[in-house]
Amino acid sequence: MKKRNRGQQTQNMNLRLKEIEPLTKNQLAAFESNNNLVLHGLAGTGKTFISSYLAYDDIEKGFADNLIIIRSAVPTRDIGFLPGSEKEKSAVYEEPYKDVATHLFDRGDAYEIMKQKNIVQFMTTSFIRGITLRNACIIVDECQNMSFHELDSIITRVGENCRIMFCGDFRQSDLKRNELLSWLKVLERMEEFDFIEFGVDDIVRSEFVKKYIIAKMEVEDEG
């Protein structure tokens, strides 16, 4: 990314990004990368948190104008029964990013403020067609729940001066057919991406979650 001149926009709204230090070796690798990223691995390893921090940091430093968060609502079984339009339904999936912004800026209204100013935009893959993403950090979250077609549609929307970060774990897929691994083989042929695999030692959410995931993996191995 080339440095731009809009790095003061969050400060002008009295939002200051906290300084965050990586907690594991793989988190450090993500912090030190200047490439597009594929953060892949177990739950509780901070993939979404890290990518959000890196995106907000790029915005504060003037490398990007805004953060675009993309998720798929297709695999969720309940969206058709929720009230409201598709856009209103998709708002349910914004809650994790509101929580992350609250933590990173120490303000409960940080996400809503940035959304009102178009510094943060949230969309599902249903709205990605026909647009070009420019001058942005792009987080594609829970990408294990996306089809090859969805992933392909997203990456072909990327325009000039963008940094894209994919977060996911194929072990958690809600799809009957997981297409993430075959799609990753395409990205592996591109020098623009760094791949970081998060394992058990990277679980930082809590010791309880770490023990649970270890136990679950043991049961899966036995089966």
**Domain range summary for the chain, segments of one domain joined by +:** 9-222
Report how far residue 120's alpha carbon sits from residue 87's, in angstroms, rounded to the nearest whole number: 15
pLDDT at 75: 46
Token output for 91? 């708002």
Q: Which CATH superfamily is domain 9-222 in?
A: P-loop containing nucleotide triphosphate hydrolases (3.40.50.300)
Token output for 22? 């990586």
pLDDT at 176: 55
Closest CA to 212 of 46, 48, 43, 50: 43
The pLDDT profile of the chain, 223 residues, written as one tens digit per residue, is 555 555 556 666 789 999 999 999 999 999 999 999 999 999 999 999 999 999 999 999 999 999 999 998 654 444 555 566 666 666 788 999 999 999 999 999 999 999 999 999 999 888 888 899 999 999 999 998 888 899 999 999 999 999 999 999 876 655 555 677 788 899 999 999 999 999 999 999 999 999 999 999 999 888 6
What SS3 string covers the chain? CCCCCCCCHHHHCCCCCCCCCCCCHHHHHHHHCCCEEEEEECCCCCHHHHHHHHHHHHHHCCCCCEEEEEECCCCCCCHHHCCCCHHHHHHHHHHHHHHHHHHHHCCCCHHHHHHHCCCEEEEEHHHCCCCCECCEEEEECCHHHCCHHHHHHHHCCECCCCEEEEEECHHHCCCCCCCHHHHHHHHCCCCCEEEEEECHHHCCCCHHHHHHHHHHHHHHHHC
Closest CA to 16 of 69, 59, 63: 59
Token output for 99? 């929580």
